[in-house]
Amino acid sequence: MTDSGELSIGPLVRPSDGSDDTAKVVADLVNAVYAVAEEGMWPEGATRTSASEIAELAGAGRLFVASLGDRIVGCVKVVQLDARVAEFGMLAADPEVRGAGIGRALVRFAEAHAARLGSEIMQLEVIQPRDFEHASKVFLSQWYPRMGYVPVRTDGPEVMYSELVPLLAVPCDVVVYHKRLG
């Protein structure tokens, strides 16, 4: 693989016969990033996603990847929640190119994509430990507002994702952010 060329962002496209390992490459990237970004929040060895989930999201047109040449360096999931609100998640940028603006470019792409679909609001959710400060979560709590996102509510995971509660290693909250598009 090469990483020459400009950054390009688009849908994750896989051969219809499933003959490549692109979904695994993306899942491995997401899991590596989240292992650091959410360290201590989940039991040892927990993973954020799987190749099958990535393939399913790609097939539904909900997963977009950032590439430098033929090297995948990031991804973002975008879903339409209702007629007015879209949400992005599973944002990941390869640590080897962190600081190059890939995360910001993926967020901007997600916003533009949602606006094209008619969304007025972009939502994101950040799960964070309730009883201690996690460095990556502190960073995100400052980074998202710099891009125009405003926290609109904080709930315990039992409100939105009750199935996650027994999987968490520590008590957590889910902070929901919104940004008006357009």
pLDDT band, residue 101 (cuts 50/70/90)? very high
Rounded to an integer, what distance in angstroms lies between the CA atom of residue 76 and that of residue 80?
Answer: 13
Domains and CATH numbers, the chain: 7-180 (3.40.630.30)
**How much is the average pLDDT of 73-102?**
97
What is the reported pLDDT for 20?
Answer: 67
Rounded to an integer, what distance in angstroms lies between the CA atom of residue 84 and that of residue 122?
Answer: 9
pLDDT band, residue 2 (cuts 50/70/90)? very low
**Cα dihedral 11/17/18/21 (nearest 10):** -90
Read off the pTM.
0.93
SS3 181: coil
